[in-house]
Amino acid sequence: MSWVRVSGYPFRRRASISIDNTAGAAGPIDATVSIPVTLDEFWDTIDSSGIELRVTDADGVTVLPYSLASFNKTNRTGTIEIDGYTAPAAGMLQVFLYWDATGAPTGAVATVIAAAKTGYIETCGPATIDRIKAGPLRPGDTRPRQMIGKATDETRDVWIDLASWIPRRSMPFQGRYECDELDYATYVCTAAGASQAGMVDATKTRYYAGRFLRVRVLSGADGTDYTLTPTVRTVEGLVLTPRSWLKVRDQDEA
């Protein structure tokens, strides 16, 4: 999708917002998002009043109604309220925060927020050791392609790079490459086909930079092989299932 453009003002920067609708359902929802103090790129380039920002749907262009419940550039504090976003399904949803459009008029509106979901903005990307580069599977291929290991007492974040799944522009312009965007995701862990719900914390699933998906893995039984299977859906209706192996092994120090 193209980046948002409002009244002729191009927005130069954006960040993924992950909205936790894992315990919800499809339909209208409200959400609140605190802008991290460590989001340096935002605080160093946003205007003094927070006027030059927008929130969009997962497609990157459909502007969502929002208000600033609080904003202080000097103290680096700000909370965004998103009103009446239509969640496509239960799961971790992705929308976008755009900013850096010099001279753009305010996009904030009056909002009435109820039973708000929590949104998150990640400021740090994947560590190399926990990064999996997901590649397209052959038709009908359900086997995991990559492996990650952990001990029983470890909690691990696995970052899945989905860039190779997303169609790219034949003529990229001003850093805009994607023709599709990640919309929402769910995540399961299985052993011999049986769900291992205790190894999954779906509320910790996150998007980063529009291309990475982070899933959190807990515990596990020593000597057991598991399959990690996020199911990610894009705005254009692609269904991505980048399976990987998780091998749980404790070192024998006897």
Residue 13's DSSP bridge partners are 99
pLDDT of 207-232, one tens digit each?
999 999 999 999 999 999 999 999 99
Q: Determine the residue type at 161.
A: D
Structural contact between residues 202 and 92, judged by C-beta atoms closer than 8 angstroms: yes
Residue 74 confidence (pLDDT) above 60: yes
CA-CA distance, 228 to 144, in Å (whole number)? 8
Residue 112 confidence (pLDDT) above 70: yes
Mean pLDDT of 51-74: 95
For the chain, what percentages of helix, strand and coil (3-state, to nearest 5) are there?
5, 45, 45
Residue 44 confidence (pLDDT) above 90: yes
Q: Higher pLDDT residue, 98 or 10?
A: 98
Structural contact between residues 79 and 35, judged by C-beta atoms closer than 8 angstroms: yes
pLDDT of 130-172, one tens digit each?
667 665 556 566 666 788 889 999 999 999 988 888 877 777 6
Average pLDDT value over all residues in the chain: 90
Q: Whole-prediction pTM value?
A: 0.91
Number of Cβ within a 10 Å radius of residue 128: 6
Query: Going from the N-terminus, what domains does the chain have, and what CATH number goes with each?
Result: 5-120 (no CATH), 128-248 (2.60.40.1220)
Residue 96 confidence (pLDDT) above 70: yes
